[in-house]
């Protein structure tokens, strides 16, 4: 199966992180993944206004999936820009938002939490989860203290571990990393925290395969 991962911002650093995570997933799953980004988009999507700004560009790319030989697509932004339901189908090809996929996976278990990219969007994140019908077991949503997790630095890792540990201490059995910039640190965080850590890109890639099999 051939899957497109689209980072809908213009950050090449975050795109490199997403590409590494996608490549590791592809090697383990036997699928083919291509990672792209939107060079004309903002460097980071934070607010709903940011998401709305790029929705048109995202759907232009979705419209070319069949012509470019892709079987599915993942929107690699936790706000799921352009996808009010968190996922869609275009020409029998599923388009999956990693926010929807990761929160759905978390909500399938016991109480869960989500670490948002910043405190200012916590209310939006809760509203997003509610729109997907996933807030029943949501214990805590909180904002991250840094915006440089894509660097993979020891300082960034230490901060991310502390933040996830706090969410786990509040009773969350699983914690969703609510930004693709955090994805590259997911494995290291898992080794250091007392909760399941849900890396959103891999969750979305898994879901895209399931939906492609169901709709293809």
Please check whether the two domains, 2-98+202-215 and 101-200, share a CATH topology.
Answer: yes
* Res 185 pLDDT > 80: yes
pLDDT tens digits, residue range 66-101? 999 999 999 999 999 999 999 999 999 999 999 999
Question: Position of tokens 């699983």?
Answer: 174
* Res 113 pLDDT > 80: yes
What's the CATH number for 2-98+202-215? Answer: 3.40.50.12500
What distance in Å separates the CA atoms of residue 70 and residue 141, rounded to the nearest whole number?
A: 34
Q: How confident is the model at residue 216 (pLDDT cuts 50, 70, 90)?
A: low
E strand intervals along the chain: 2-7, 32-37, 72-75, 87-90, 93-97, 112-116, 138-143, 174-178, 196-198
pLDDT tens digits, residue range 124-138? 999 999 999 999 999
Helix (H) or strand (E) holding 22: helix 12-29
Contact between 38 and 177 (Cβ < 8 Å): no
The reported pLDDT for the residue numbered 46 is 82
pLDDT tens digits, residue range 10-23? 999 999 999 999 99
pLDDT (mean) for 152-171? 98
Domain 101-200 has CATH 3.90.550.10: no
Q: How confident is the model at residue 3 (pLDDT cuts 50, 70, 90)?
A: very high
Q: What is the mean pLDDT of the chain?
A: 96
Kindly state the percentage of the chain with pLDDT values over 70: 100
The arrangement of strands across the sheet holding 2-7 comes to 32-37, 2-7, 72-75, 93-97, 87-90
Domain assignments of the chain as residue spans, ordered by start = 2-98+202-215, 101-200
The reported pLDDT for the residue numbered 195 is 97
Residue 45's contacts (CB-CB under 8 Å, 6 or more residues apart) are: 8, 9, 51, 54, 77, 79, 81
Residue 31's contacts (CB-CB under 8 Å, 6 or more residues apart) are: 1, 2, 3, 25, 205, 209
């Amino acid at each position: 199966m051939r899957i497109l991962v689209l980072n809908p911002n213009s950050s090449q650093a975050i795109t490199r992180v997403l590409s590494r995570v996608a490549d590791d997933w592809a090697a383990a799953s036997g699928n083919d993944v291509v990672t792209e980004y939107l060079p004309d988009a903002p460097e980071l999507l934070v607010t709903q206004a940011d998401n709305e700004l790029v929705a048109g560009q995202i759907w232009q790319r979705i419209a070319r999936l069949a012509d470019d030989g892709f079987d599915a697509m993942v929107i690699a932004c936790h706000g799921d820009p352009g996808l009010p339901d968190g996922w869609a189908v275009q020409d029998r090809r599923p388009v999956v938002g990693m926010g929807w996929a990761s929160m759905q996976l978390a909500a399938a278990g016991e109480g869960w939490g989500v670490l948002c990219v910043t405190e200012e969007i916590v209310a939006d994140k809760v509203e997003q989860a509610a729109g997907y019908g996933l807030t029943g077991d949501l214990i805590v949503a909180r904002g991250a203290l840094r915006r440089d997790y894509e660097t993979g630095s020891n300082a960034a890792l230490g901060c991310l571990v502390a933040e996830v540990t706090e969410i786990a201490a509040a009773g969350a059995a699983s914690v969703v990393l609510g930004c693709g910039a955090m994805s590259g640190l997911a494995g290291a965080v898992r080794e250091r925290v007392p909760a399941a850590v849900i890396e959103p890109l891999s969750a979305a890639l898994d879901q895209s395969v399931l939906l492609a099999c169901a709709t293809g």
